[in-house]
Amino acid sequence: MAELIHLGDIAISVTRKDVKNVHLSVHPPDGRVTLVAPMTTRIDVARAYAITRIGWIRQQKVRFSKQAREAPRQFKGRETHYLWGRRHLLRLTERDEKPTIKVDHRTIHLQVRPGAEAEQRARIMHEWHLGLLHDAIPELIRKWEARIGVKVRGYFLQRMKTKWGSCNPQRGTIRINTELVKKPRDMLEYVIVHEMIHVIEPKHTKAFFQHLDRLYPNWSVVRAELNELPLSAESWPRRQEGG
């Protein structure tokens, strides 16, 4: 069961795991704070560490409260949608034919059957996004398998609220947030590289970051840019600081 540390109006949930260092995280969208500590760490030591980071915690809370968020989409004409980091306008047409989606320059042409409701239009768009990701991800995995020296046995796509990706090292699989189809392609590549390294280094150890620095030197810049982009109405990234 998690313990709680109270620093004024800030509550921090403390969890003990088999880790070497303390990891302090502020989670969107409401600024929930968690601290993961080694099993032997006393609660007063964890509290002392949290106090040293109180300024950073408050800064992250303010940033989340001010960060731009996308309004929920209705999937109607002239609505703004993002694809691979570029802003597009949606053009909606109704025709009694199989739904289709085409892109030219900065316009996404969505054709649906007459009377299709917003939920149906959203599902068509989501399936299209999945197809785009399935087209892009295998090539990126193949590119990095030889460079990293790992074999990915499979990948999954999922809408996630707090992570851009995850890894199951035992199974050799990675999971990618479907929201990345809306972000620049280099951000998708960074997340894939990050999760693939976890196949050989399951935790954020010194060795993990050594691999990341060697293989993807500008990873911190890409991650910072990813975390500065507008948040989706349904999915939020996570900021974490290790100590």
Shared domain for 131 and 237, answered yes or no, is yes
Query: Does 158 map to a domain?
Result: yes
Q: How many domains would you assign to the chain?
A: 2
Shared domain for 217 and 136, answered yes or no, is yes
Residue type, 60: Q
Shared domain for 41 and 141, answered yes or no, is no
pLDDT score at 71: 65
Shared domain for 148 and 230, answered yes or no, is yes
Query: Does 191 map to a domain?
Result: yes
Torsion region of 74: left, alpha or beta (phi above 0 gives left; psi -120 to 50 gives alpha): alpha
Shared domain for 52 and 131, answered yes or no, is no
What is the spatial distance between Cα 72 and Cα 90, in angstroms, rounded to a whole number? 14
Query: Does 76 map to a domain?
Result: no
Q: Which CATH number fits the domain that encloses residue 184?
A: 3.30.2010.10
Q: What is the pLDDT of residues 60-79, one digit of tens each?
A: 888 777 655 566 788 998 89
Query: Does 135 map to a domain?
Result: yes
In eight-state DSSP terms, residue 93 is E
Residue 21 predicted with pLDDT over 90: no
Query: Does 200 map to a domain?
Result: yes
| DSSP string computed for 134-195 | HHHHHHHHHHHHHHHT----EEEEE--SS-SEEEETTTTEEEEEGGGGGS-HHHHHHHHHHH
Residue with tokens 């990873």: 219
Shared domain for 54 and 145, answered yes or no, is no
Which residue, 14, 42, 66, sits at the end of a domain?
A: 66
Residue 239 predicted with pLDDT over 60: no
| CA dihedral for 44, 49, 53, 57, sign (positive or negative) | negative
Query: Does 55 map to a domain?
Result: yes
- 138 is written with which tokens? 């295998």
pLDDT score at 190: 96
Q: What is the pLDDT of residues 131-185, one digit of tens each?
A: 999 999 999 999 999 999 999 999 999 987 768 899 999 999 999 999 999 999 9
Shared domain for 238 and 132, answered yes or no, is yes
pLDDT tier at 243 (50, 70, 90 boundaries)?
A: very low
Q: What is the pLDDT of residues 32-56, one digit of tens each?
A: 899 998 999 999 999 999 999 999 9
Q: For 125, list phi and psi in degrees, rounded to 5.
A: -65, -40
Query: Does 97 map to a domain?
Result: no
pLDDT score at 69: 59
Which residue, 40, 66, 92, sits at the end of a domain?
A: 66
Shared domain for 54 and 137, answered yes or no, is no
Q: What is the pLDDT of residues 200-228, one digit of tens each?
A: 999 888 899 999 999 999 998 898 888 77
- Give the SS3 label for residue 10: strand
pLDDT tier at 3 (50, 70, 90 boundaries)?
A: confident
What is the spatial distance between Cα 56 and Cα 76, in angstroms, rounded to a whole number? 40
User: By residue range, what is the domain housing residue 140?
Assistant: 126-242
Q: What is the pLDDT of residues 69-120, one digit of tens each?
A: 566 788 998 899 999 999 999 999 999 999 999 999 899 999 999 999 999 9
Query: Does 117 map to a domain?
Result: no
Shared domain for 133 and 36, answered yes or no, is no
